[in-house]
A = this chain, B = another copy of it.
């Protein structure tokens, strides 16, 4: 079994309204040292395979075709044996 740990994040140039809302909420709660909040997705996919090289390609394809929006997001991942 392999587990892919995938981060899908907005590109730095893309506005993150959800993150901005959290920053504003924190300011209202009195946390005035918060400079920026960025909210991303963290996805774990368990794969029933032991072929690491094939899994790397598969997860890359999955990110491109389903998990990430190539216009606004970037992704990176690591794959571990479990």
Contact = CB atoms under 8 A, between A and B. Distances in A.
Contact of A38 (B22, B35, B43): B43
Contacts of A52: none
A45 B41 contact: no
A33 B7 contact: no
Contacts of A69: none
| Number of copies of this kind of chain in the complex | 2
Interface in A39-72: 39-49, 58, 62, 65-67
B33 A66 contact: no
Contacts of A49: 33
Q: Which 7 A-B pairs have the closest CB atoms?
A: A42-B42, A35-B46, A40-B42, A36-B46, A33-B48, A38-B44, A33-B49
